[in-house]
Amino acid sequence: MRENYTTAWSDDSIRFISSPSTFAATNLYYVQEIGHFHTLPGYFTEREGLDSYLIVYIQRGKGKLIYQGHTYTLEARQLFFIHCMPYHQYTADPNDPLELLWVHVYGSSISAYYEQYADQYEPVLPLANERIPELITRTLQIQQQKSAATELLTSQLLVELLTTILLSSQEKDLSESDKPAYIHAIRQTLEQRFSEPISLDQLAQKHAVSKYNMAKRFKQFTGFSPHEYLIGIRMVHAKEKLKYSDMPVSEIAAAVGIHNVSHFINLFRDRTGDTPLVYRKKWQRPR
């Protein structure tokens, strides 16, 4: 890891370093460092090679973030969410220094939250939800008031923080008034005709839109690509038949629109962790 920074922050600023227990490090989301800085002119931090996820909420002031070769302007009520392995630098405007709430967070599946965010959005999120600074502040308070419940409460707050960030990023872009009419129509088609072969080209042609834009907009409003959405529907119907019928796996595969049995078994196992027969054994009641 390489890190360089100035300690240009006020005396009433807070910086807290945490050391998680083995249980927390293995099973929970936990704080590595957390703080509330009133920065002074000349403040900056730059680093790379740190396996940590950094969430920073700008309460006041202006600044700049450099991340993965791009430069972003920082202003009040914005948030940035980054993985600290790539080179990054953030600085305060000398004429209007930053007030920051920040937390370095880690956990066994945090990369999934981050990838969901980074796949669709820039690092900087404008007009961040007002719940976000409350959650960081509460997390900071809990670190300073150690108790037997600290690690569990911290994990709970961090999950809420990460969830709020993802929801805020989606709400920023999604409005029901902006939803194309074909989104609902495509969902109905996939739900009603899940057992039939359906291609993106067919859907795009039917609704007179480009395949690329249709798939992108569908994922924005549903969280899934049309193909992923269709597979999900097929798996739900497959589970129902495995649980409530004695149909052979090959017939179930065909009934949900997947005519290659090996492909069906692989899809089912990827999404449930079990083969169809193991799933049936777990869930079907003895007769």
Residue 171 has pLDDT above 70, yes or no: no
Condensed to tens digits (0 to 9), the pLDDT of residues 114-136 reads 998 998 789 999 877 889 999 99
Neighbours of 285 (CB within 10 A): 6
What's the whole-number mean pLDDT along residues 13-30?
94
Q: What is the pLDDT of residues 193-202, one digit of tens each?
A: 999 998 999 9
In the predicted structure, residue 176 carries a pLDDT above the cut 90: no
Predicted confidence at residue 286, as pLDDT, reads 66
Tell which wins on pLDDT, 217 or 20: 20
Angstrom distance (rounded) from CA 287 to CA 285:
6
> What percentage of the chain has pLDDT greater than the value 90?
75
Query: Contact at 8 Å (CB) between 45 and 82?
Result: no
For the chain, the average pLDDT equals 91
Whether pTM exceeds 0.75: no
Query: For residue 251, which amino acid is it?
Result: E
Question: What is the spatial distance between Cα 230 and Cα 198, in angstroms, rounded to a whole number?
Answer: 9
> pLDDT value at position 1?
86
Which is more confidently placed, 119 or 62?
62
pLDDT of residue 170: 66
pLDDT one-digit tens code per residue, 253-267: 999 999 999 999 999
Mean pLDDT, rounded, for 71-79: 96
pLDDT at 257 (0 to 100)? 95
Size of the chain, expressed as the number of residues it contains: 287
Residue 103's pLDDT is what? 98
For the cut 90, the answer to whether the pLDDT of residue 179 exceeds it is no
pLDDT of 40 over the 70 cut:
yes
**Which value, to the nearest 10 degrees, does the dihedral of the CA atoms of residues 131, 105, 59, 145 take?**
80
Q: CB-hemisphere CA count at 13 Å for 106? A: 14
pLDDT over 70 at 33, yes or no: yes
Name the pLDDT band for 287 (thresholds 50, 70, 90): low
Per-residue pLDDT averaged across 209-221, rounded?
86
Model confidence pLDDT, tens digit, residues 103-117: 999 998 899 999 989
Q: What burial class does residue 56 get, using C-beta atoms within 10 Å of its C-beta: 0-12 exposed, 13-18 middle, 19+ buried?
A: buried
Domains and CATH numbers, the chain: 2-173 (2.60.120.280), 178-283 (1.10.10.60)
pLDDT of residue 264: 95
User: What's the rounded Cα separation, in Å, for the pair 78 and 126?
Assistant: 5
**Mean pLDDT, rounded, for 229-242:** 94
Give mean pLDDT, residues 242-256.
Answer: 95
pLDDT at 177: 58
